[in-house]
Structure 1
Amino acid sequence: MGQFLRDNWFVVVIAIVIIGFVSYFIYDSNKYNVSSMKYGDSDVVMSVTGGNVTADEIYSDLSKDDGELLYNLYKNAVVSQTVKETDKIKNDAKTLQDNIVSYAKQQDSDNYKQIIEQELYAYGYSSYDDLDDYCLESVKEAQMNENYVDNHFASLSKAVVSKKPRTISIITMSVSDASNLTSDEQKKKVNIDSALQKESFAKTATTYSEDTTASDKGVYGYIDEDDKDSSSSSLDSSVIEAALKLKKGETSDWITVTDSDAGTTTLYKVHVNETDVNQIHKSKNTTIKRQLLNAILNDNTGLSTKIVQANAKKLKISIKDKTTKKKLNAYINEQLKGDASNE
């Protein structure tokens, strides 16, 4: 489930709302500067309806991972101020929310809310009711990242060019035993091969493929060399490896994939649609564009944090509390140096 939340919208990082308060930052009248206050002998980091929250109280509650916690709050403020809440963003957030709920119900229809809630806790949300906020911030951040990558695509795309980027389509066919096909299975296999000689891969996939991609003309999406070892890929590594050996417009021979856990065997045909990263970037397929975005974010060390910083600079956010600022800057510097997988 956690992997699903991270990968479903093809964003690398998720903005967080912390239980019990909205933010470490107190915006003044221009909403970008933190006010400095005192409560007794302690600095007030923020004020909420129930009263002041002092630095002493916050730091006593923070865990050893408070640098990440502070960063997520900081990032949340940047995303909220940078990306406007358009109707499209709201609709995309609702779609994401529906997908997450649907996925959780497949796992356990009676306890799906608890499943989602446990995952939201990991990101700092307090309950299932916060799922809509989680999804909205996810979509807004994806848009912020996409805007930045679009404006710097020529330089940022260099990181994926060497990894054989491509978009692919697939045809699948379930069989009981690949080495001993039934008469019906053999007939269907022959029909697929025959159709591929006469018509496009897309039309053949639409007619014959047993995969859900058949409804989209067989289009699977974007892959590159990193997908061979990815635990989140839905394709077997043998299919990905075959696709990486093909040129644009080429189609593989039949590939046999056996899932020993599920006890199933599937035959695959894979076709390469595009290998030019610039053309992939121009794709009208939203999923493909976001898959490419995700690849670029992963392959450019610290890029997600750099994007947050670039937008934060425009907002002129100021943090008055020295301890907070020190912890936050230390975490940001660590991310910029380099573990993009933590983003």
Structure 2
Amino acid sequence: MRDFLRDNWFVVVIAVVIIGFVSYFIYDSTKYNVSGTTSDGEDVVASTNKGDVTADDLYDEMSASDSSLLYNLYRNEVVDQSIETTDDLQQDADDLKDQIDSTAEQQVSDYKSYLGQELAAYGYNGYDELDDYCLMSVKQKEMNRRYVKKHYDDLKKAVEDQNPRTISIIQISVSDPDNLTSDEQKKKDNIDSALSKQSFAKTATAYSEDSTASDEGVYGYVDGKTTESSSSSLDESVINAALDLKKGETSDWITVTDSDSGTSYLYKVHVDETDLNKIYKSKNDTIKDQVLNAFLTDNTGLEYTVVQSYAKKLDIKLSKSTKKKINAYIEEQKKGDDSSDEEN
């Protein structure tokens, strides 16, 4: 799993080890310094018995592998200065923190220490700054949303090319898909009968055993890249069936067997909407976030372009070497996006 803290998944372990060490060094070397100290006109980030260490000294000594930390520090500052903290954004940040805490606690015993290491890769000093990270994260999402809204007409083609749609599902579990019990067969027949008389939404609410039943079966947004995403909870066969349907159509029964648990399921998938303009204007918060992510994923390097666009409006002072390192990192990431066809 990647990008635990950005997308609630884990970053690459080696990056955490390297950048976590650098971040700790910065913190440990500066925690006793008086802010605002300068030497020959440059900001001092550390004072040792061998003399002062300036920001430029530190940045110049950073290896290429640390450029991601430098970029994240830069990105954090751009986001913080560009988007005002509102009550709604603060609430979203609080909710995100609760979600990260809950998920991490279930997966890692010493989760606070682990999250502290994760946070180092994003320019934060340990678990106590998780609140700051979460606020930055929701503010960055708002920044991305504003940029996409302003440039929608220029960005939409890349998304439309991926066959976008919103879908709903019905899921039931079965012991053996080739030999249904009488109760399983009865439930399957009842669903087929209900679908011939009423809407997919009503049928999903009444019969689906999936958690989406509480939302009339609505699963959300999918497109041609969904099968490549580690965040999708649907089997590839269900997504591919959805991509082959037109708006308003419902699939035949699809059999899926979980390779880990061995549990088998039967699915029906229904296409709710295929018009990107209508999907983009959805009032469903989950779909709004999913389609925003699609814009960022399908338009190569867009997330970095957004940061650069907002940075131009700010008076951020960078040395030539620091600016060069950040720009090189951004361009390298854009190339990586282009070659792997993934959003970093």
Percent of residue pairs bearing the same amino acid type: 61
Q: Counterpart of 2:69?
A: 69
C-alpha distance 195-3 of structure 1, shift in aligned 2 (>3 A): farther
- 1:173 aligned counterpart, secondary structure: strand
Spell out, residue by residue over 1:292-335, the C-alpha distance to the aligned partner (whole angstroms, 9 max, x if none).
1111111112211111111111113232x232222122223334
Aligned pairs (5 A) from 1:126-165: 126-165=125-164
Asked if 1 retains the 8 angstrom alpha-carbon contact of 2:174 and 2:184, the reply is yes
Which residue in 2 is equivalent to 1:119? 118
Where does residue 237 of structure 1 map in the other structure? 236
- The aligned residue for residue 179 of structure 2 is 180
Counterpart residue number, 1:327: 325
Quote the residue 2:31 is aligned against.
Answer: none
Does the 8 Å contact 1:5/1:100 carry over to 2? yes
Conserved 8 A contact 1:21-1:48: no
CA change 1:114–1:265 in 2 (3 A) is farther
Shift in Å at residue 180 of structure 1?
0.7
Q: Which residue of 2 is the match for residue 315 of structure 1?
A: 314
CA contact (8 A) 1:225 1:244 kept: yes
**1:38 has 2:39 as partner:** yes
CA distance in 2, matches of 1:47, 1:229: 42
Distance in structure 1 (CA, Å) of the matches to 2:162 and 2:250: 20
2:107 is aligned to 107
Residue of structure 2 equivalent to 1:170: 169
Amino acid at match of 1:130: E
Amino acid in the other structure paired with 1:146 = R
Aligned to 1:83: 83
Q: Per the alignment, in what secondary structure is the counterpart of residue 256 of structure 2?
A: strand
Distance 1:21 1:85, change over 3 A: farther
- Mapped contact 2:72–2:123 kept (Cα < 8 A): no
Distance change (3 Å), C-alpha of 1:115 and 1:183? farther
Runs (5+) with no aligned partner, structure 2: 10-19, 29-35
Q: Find the aligned partners of 2:206 and 2:242 in 1 and give their Cα distance.
A: 21
| Number of residue pairs matched by the alignment | 321
| Distance change in 2, residues 1:234/1:174 (3 Å) | same
**Contact 1:301–1:338, Cα closer than 8 Å, also in 2:** no
1:129, distance to aligned residue in structure 2 (A): 1.8
Distance 1:254 1:274, change over 3 A: same
- Whole-angstrom distance in 2 between the partners of 1:104 and 1:98: 10
CA shift digits 1:69-109 (9 cap, x unpaired): 2221111111000001101101111111111122223324x
Change (3 A) 1:103 1:244: same
CA shift, 1:68, in A, is 2.2
Q: Distance in 2 between matches of 1:302 and 1:46?
A: 33
Matched residue type, 1:331: Y
SS in 2 for 1:220: strand
Structure 1: 5+ residue runs without aligned partners? Answer: 10-15, 23-34
Whole-angstrom distance in 1 between the partners of 2:142 and 2:333: 21
CA distance in 2, matches of 1:68, 1:163: 29
1:29 alignment counterpart:
none
TM-superposed CA distance for 1:57, in Å, is: 4.9
Cα distance in 1 for residues equivalent to 2:66 and 2:226: 32
Output one character per residue of 1:199-220: Cα deviation in whole Å (capped at 9) or x when no partner: 1111111111111111111111
**Residues 272-306 of structure 1 deviation map (CA, whole Å, 9 limit, x = unaligned):** 00000000000001111111111111111221111
Other-structure match for 2:246: 247
Aligned to 1:58: 58
Amino acid at match of 2:201: A
Shift in CA distance, 36/103, structure 1 to aligned 2, threshold 3 Å: closer
Q: Which residue of 1 aligns with 2:12?
A: none
SS in 1 for 2:196: helix
TM-score, normalised to structure 2, is 0.84
TM-superposed CA distance for 1:59, in Å, is: 4.0
Bigger drift between 306-315 and 234-243 goes to 306-315
In 2: Cα distance, 1:238 partner to 1:76 partner = 39
Pick which of 77-86 and 211-220 moved more: 211-220
So what's the TM-score if we normalise by structure 1? 0.85
Structure 1 residue 208 and structure 2 residue 207: aligned? yes
SS in 1 for 2:300: coil
RMSD over equivalenced CA pairs, Å: 2.9
Q: CA deviation at 1:228?
A: 2.1
CA, structure 1 residues 125+318, in 2 after alignment: closer, same or farther (shift >3 Å)? Answer: closer
- 1:52 deviates by 6.0
Cα drift, residue 113 of structure 1:
2.6
Identify the structure with bigger relative contact order (alpha carbons < 8 Å, sequence gap 6+).
1
**For the structure 1 residues 267 and 315, does the alpha-carbon distance in structure 2 shift closer, same or farther, using more than 3 Å as the test?**
same
> Could you tell me whether the CA contact under 8 Å between 1:306 and 1:336 is conserved in 2?
no
Report Cα offsets for 1:141-171 as digits up to 9, x if no partner: 0000000001111110110111110000111
CA–CA distance in structure 2, aligned partners of residues 84 and 57 of structure 1: 32
Q: Give the aligned partner of residue 32 of structure 1.
A: none
The SS at the match of 1:263 is: coil
- Give the superposition deviation at 1:128: 2.0
